[in-house]
Amino acid sequence: MTRTAVVTGASSGIGEATARALAAQGYHVIAAARRMDRLAKLAGEIGGTAAELDVTSQASVDALAAALPPELQVLVNNAGGALGLEPIEAADEAHWVGMYATNVLGLMRVTRALLPALKAGRGHIVNITSIAGREVYVNGAGYTAAKHAAVAVTKTLRLELNGLPVRVTDVAPGLVETEFGLVRFDGDADRAAAAYKGMTPLVAEDIAECVAWAVSRPWHVNIDEIVVRPVAQATVSLVARDKGL
């Protein structure tokens, strides 16, 4: 029987690496994101399917759901990210709204639409949150608020699905070298690179391995949370630099 996995935000970074890892485990992966050119290439390489998806659009989510098989085994809610880094006193409302729209409402929208198929398929929902869903840091409130909300939604989901054949896992990464910083700083490569200066960040494959491990546990095992950081990172903002770590 074909096992099907949907990965959102699959055009780059953690999503792309997760799509590859799940394909390597034998899943038919539906790689969903906005950038179809990248997705088509990825889908070709892993024998999966590219699906255009904007998690901020209900119509787009509905179109994805309508194209899926009736039974789904894995959903990885990875689409999301940070916009800006400013104090609350200077909060950019568009950034805050944008972060809530993807990290929280997008997660809700895709989960809501795909839950019937996940229930039918003894499914597993893996939400990629962040250590920013467990900590706060100066100038980070827009992002930490959104990720704390994503963690709350994930925990609530586990309560609401109790008694149903659906597993729920929260994978919470620290610093991972992806396009995360470029998006956060609107394409400013120098600001993005500064986060990784003098230390070794995680790579997307590190997180993909966590997802692949969680979904491949025996069915009676639910991995609730995996928090994973680079060795050099004790908290979001306490990062040892220039120590060979």
- Smallest gap from Cβ 26 to ligand 8X3, in A, equals 29
Among 18, 130, 154, 178, binds ligand 8X3 (CB under 6 A): 130
Rounded CA separation 139/224 (Å): 29
Q: Do residues 48 and 28 touch, judged by C-beta distance below 8 A?
A: yes
Largest Cα–Cα separation, the chain: 54
Residue 168 in contact with ligand 8X3, rule: CB under 6 A: no
For ligand 8X3, the binding residue among 43, 113, 131, 168 (CB under 6 A) is: 131
Please, what is the minimum distance in Å from the beta carbon of residue 81 to ligand 8X3? 8
Would residue 27 show up in a list of annotated catalytic residues for this protein? no
Q: For the chain, what's the residue count?
A: 245
Which residues, in sequence order, are bridge partners of residue 170?
127, 225
Stretch that binds ligand 8X3, among 30-38, 42-50, 114-122, 169-177 (CB under 6 A): 169-177
Looking at the Cβ atoms of 78 and 130, the one nearer to ligand 8X3 is 130
User: Number of C-alpha atoms within 13 angstroms, CB side, residue 157?
Assistant: 27
171 part of the interface to ligand 8X3, by CB under 6 A: no
The verdict on 230 binding ligand 8X3 (CB under 6 A) reads: no
Choose between 48 and 140: whose C-beta lies nearer to ligand 8X3. Answer: 140
Nearest to 144 by CA among 193, 103, 176: 103
Q: Which of 50, 64, 114, 236 binds ligand 8X3 (CB under 6 A)?
A: 236
The Cα 176–Cα 118 span in angstroms is 29
Q: Which residue has the tokens 């729209």?
A: 101
What single DSSP character describes residue 233? Answer: B
Q: Which residues are catalytic?
A: 143
Tell me which residues touch ligand 8X3 (CB under 6 A).
130-132, 173-175, 236
